[in-house]
Structure 1
Amino acid sequence: MKVLELAKRRKTVRKFLPNKPPRELILKAIEAAKEAPSGMNAQPWKFIIIEDHELKRKIRELCEKEEERFYSTTRGKLMEWLKEKGFTPRKPFLSEAPYLILVFSNTKAPYWLQSTWIAVGYLLLALEELGLGSVTYTPPNPRPIEYLLNVPRDYKLQVILPTGYPDDPKPKYERKSLEEVVSFNGF
C-alpha cells in the first residue's frame, strides 16, 4: 500500500479486540521503525514491548495517577477540548490493549527527540499496514514508568503505543486541507 493511502486510513484507536496479534507483527512494525533517519545515524530509540498483564496494570495505575494531577491543574482551551471529547484521567487502553510499545530516546544522542519521533511515525504507518491500531499516549509525567522499568538515566520515555486489533468505531478526526498547511517561499 502506498504511504499516502496508509496515512489517510490511519486513525487513533483506544479500543481493541481481545485477541492478541502474533508477536511477529509487532516486531515487523518495529523493523520498519528502526529504518528511520536519525541525526548522525545515532538511532537513539529503544522499544520496549509490554505484554505482561500485571505490568500493564501497574503502568496504567501510574499513568492514571499522573493524569489526575494533570487534569486538576489544566484549564482553558485544552480542558474544554478534553471535556468536549469525553476524555478523563482513566486510560483503560493501557491495560486492555494486548501490547504496549514504549518508545524511549537516548538523550545523549544528537537530535534525539526529532529522530525518535520520525521513528514513531514510521512505526504508526507500519502498524496500520499490518492491520493493527494504536494511540500515541504520552504520559504527563514519564518518570514513574521509567523508574518501574529501571530505565537508564540517559533515556527518556517519549510515548506509549497501546497496540492490537482495532475495535474502535469512531471515525478519524478530520484533517486540515493541503492549502491550509502549505505555503511556498515563506510563511
Structure 2
Amino acid sequence: MRVFELAKRRKTVRQFLPDKPSLDAIMKALEAAKEAPSGMNAQPWRFVVIDDEWLKGKIRELCEEEEKKFYSKTKGDLMAWLNAKGFRPEKPFLSEAPYLILVFGNTKAPYWLQSTWIAVGYLLLALEELGLGTVTYTPPNPKPVEELLNAPRDYKLQVILPVGYPADPKPKYERKKLEEVVSFNGF
C-alpha cells in the first residue's frame, strides 16, 4: 500500500537544498496530478512552473507585501498560534526553492475548487515519492500574483508549491488519531 506509506511520511518543507531537481522529475509529478478525478471530467487545473530567479523573487515580494497586510489585521488565537510556531510575513522559501509550482483553478468549470485541490493532493504524494519536498503556501491575496502572470480572469490561484530537495529539519506535525476524525452512520 504505497500511498499509505507516502502519506504517513510526507511533511511540510520550508527549507531546501540548493541542488535543483531535474525538470523531468517535476513533469513526472505533474503527470500524476493531471490524472486526478474532476467534476464532469473538466480537469479545471492549470499548473504554472516557475524556475526563473527574477520571477520567483517578484512572486516572493508580492506575497510578502500581502502577508504584511494580513499580519497587521490578524489577532486572537490565530495570531497567537502564528507567533508560537514562529511564522512571520517573510516567505524565503518562495525565492530559495529551485521551483515554484503555482496551481490555478478554472472557476467556470463545475466543481472547480474541489477538483483542483484533489489534483494538488495527487501532486503532493507524487512529489514525496520522488524525494521532493514542498509546503502548500496559500497567499492571503493571490490577485497580485495572478496579475503578474497574466492569468486569465477565470483562473484563480489556489496554492504556490515551492519544490526542491528537503533541508527542513522540523519533524512532521502530529496528526489526530483515526477515531478522532472518523465516525459511522452519522457525525
Which residues of 2 match residues 107-186 of structure 1 at below 5 A?
107-186=107-186
For residue 171 of structure 2, what is the amino acid of its counterpart?
A: P
Give the Å deviation of 1:130: 0.1
Residue 5 of structure 1 is matched in structure 2 by: 5
Structure 1 residue 76 displacement after superposition: 1.1
Q: Deviations over 1:109-147 (max 9, x none)?
A: 000000000000000000000000000000000000000
- In 2: Cα distance, 1:63 partner to 1:53 partner: 15
Q: Helix, strand or coil: the match of 2:72?
A: helix
- Unaligned ranges ≥5, structure 1: none
**Residues 35-114 of structure 1 aligned to structure 2 (within 5 Å):** 35-114=35-114
Counting aligned pairs with the same residue, the percent is: 80
Q: Distance in 2 between matches of 1:52 and 1:150?
A: 16
TM superposition shift of 1:10? 0.1
- Three-state SS of the structure 1 residue aligned to 2:49 is strand
Report the Cα distance in structure 1 between the residues aligned to 2:178 and 2:143, rounded to whole angstroms. Answer: 38
- Supply the AA of the counterpart residue of 1:65: E
Equivalenced residues, count: 187
Structure 1 runs of 4+ aligned residues shifted over 4 Å read none
Alpha-carbon distance in structure 1 between the residues aligned to 2:63 and 2:146: 11
CA RMSD between the two structures? 0.5
TM-score norm. by structure 1 comes to: 0.99
TM-score if structure 2 supplies the norm length?
0.99
1:31 is aligned to: 31
Q: 1:60 & 1:26 partners in 2: Cα distance?
A: 21
